[in-house]
Amino acid sequence: MEFGFAPEDEAFRREARAWLGAHAKAGVDRRSWERALGAAGWIGLGWPEGGYGNRTATLTQQVAWAEEYARSAAPPRSGHIGENLLAPTLIAHGDSEQKARFLPPVAAGEELWCQGYSEPGAGSDLAGVRTAAVREADGYRVSGQKIWTSLAHEADWCFVLARTEPGSRRHHGLSFLLVPMDQPGRIEVRPIRQLTGTSDFNEVFFDGAHARVEHVVGGEGNGWRVAMSLLGFERGVSTLAQQIGFAAELGRVVRDAVATGADGDPVVRERLVRQWAELRVMRWNALRTLGNSAAEPGAPSVAKLLWAGWHQRLGELAVLVRGATASVGPADWSAAAPYELDAAQHLFLFSRADTVYGGSDQVQRTIIAERVLGLPREPKGVES
């Protein structure tokens, strides 16, 4: 760590390291791992006190936990969407009944969530959603399609941005609905195979899925305001933990460069040094804006642009230093079995999506142009 800790913060950090060391290599499945984290009180550190089953922590303690988690190479999280996106949104916009119903299971690692935002034909234009929710006696009947839905195949619930006012356009007439995923015949999840051969995100089809009326967050018709608030929670403490993973990947690329002799190329050396320097700048920028994103509306977009491009360039560098061997897999490839990738190949292929998911580079630049620089807004058609 590069900043000081109070004695109680240092104790917190030691406790985090000890617990992770004892459990991170347990080989448990992802859902069991979430329950283990919840039982130990490590979910929801940034939430306020409210009797939800979480422990509270200072911002410094949250950073310590996130970075120690990343350094320990603990299992990937399945519950981060519920913990870091849904929960802050409910805390900001939900009523007391919604908080009491949904926050404790997230804190316990018992219920997993996915995000129903993007749609075919709309891309990153969130106001272009066409999924409709028709009001019924005790709730809504949801019909439509979402795409690029991360972890939908594991999720128990999905927060869905849907159009509840027929004939409405753009950001008008939208509502933020909480929809249970266990509705056979009404919800279908289809995995999307990625370049890496894995399927971490999905298409989700809603064919008359039911959402209870009390599971509308922020009130009917206020979905745009709630959805925009949620997007502001996507960056934060997790950015610093992400950079720990980036540093480990950069270290592997440097070791590969030395092993292959590519480090003798001055162009390669310059690129390696540039990647290291830019990673340091990203860390300093994250520390500068941590906990202060409300005062800097463009900070999340700047951070996304910085790390997405950096990570993509690192993937390109990872295969460059390997030379021709980068095209050879660690095992025989055949059409009959999924292909295997080594770390460098996976980094190269997966990072191609970094500048698209979570809001494409073009969308981030538009946000900065309009909300920070005050440039004229991009035409989006006639609003109703």
Residue 1 confidence (pLDDT)? 34
Bridge-based pairing of strands 132-135 and 113-116 is: unpaired
Residue with tokens 């951070």: 303
pLDDT of 78 reads: 87
- List own/partner pairs for 367-371 with CB under 8 A and 24 or more apart: 367/298, 367/301, 368/298, 368/301, 368/302, 371/297, 371/298
The pLDDT, as a whole number, for residue 311 is 95
Strands (DSSP E) contained in the chain are: 113-116, 132-135, 139-150, 157-163, 174-180, 187-192, 201-212, 216-217
Return per-residue pLDDT of the chain as tens, 384 residues. 333 445 566 666 666 666 666 665 555 578 888 999 999 889 999 888 878 888 888 888 888 888 888 888 788 888 989 998 999 999 989 999 999 999 999 999 999 999 988 888 776 667 778 899 999 888 899 999 998 888 899 899 999 999 988 877 787 889 999 999 999 999 999 998 888 877 778 899 999 999 998 899 988 888 888 888 776 665 567 778 888 889 989 999 999 999 999 999 999 999 999 999 999 998 888 888 776 655 567 777 888 889 999 999 999 999 999 988 888 777 776 655 567 888 899 899 999 988 888 778 888 898 889 888 888 887 765 443
How big is the chain by its Cα radius of gyration, in Å? Answer: 22
For residues 129 and 119, give the distance between their C-alpha atoms in angstroms, rounded to a whole number. 6
Question: Is 110 a known active-site residue?
Answer: no
Query: 383, 172 in Cβ contact below 8 A?
Result: yes
Q: Which residues of 347-364 are buried (b: 16+ CB within 10 A; e: fewer)?
A: bbbbbebbbeebbebebb
Q: Which pLDDT belongs to residue 296?
A: 67
Kindly state the DSSP code that residue 337 receives in the 8-state scheme.
B
Q: Which of 111, 154, 234, 278 is catalytic?
A: 234
The pairing of beta strand 139-150 with beta strand 132-135:
antiparallel
Beta-carbon contacts of residue 276 (< 8 Å; ≥ 6 apart): 250
Q: What is the model's pLDDT at position 183?
A: 93
Q: Is 319 helix (H, G, I), strand (E, B) or coil?
A: helix
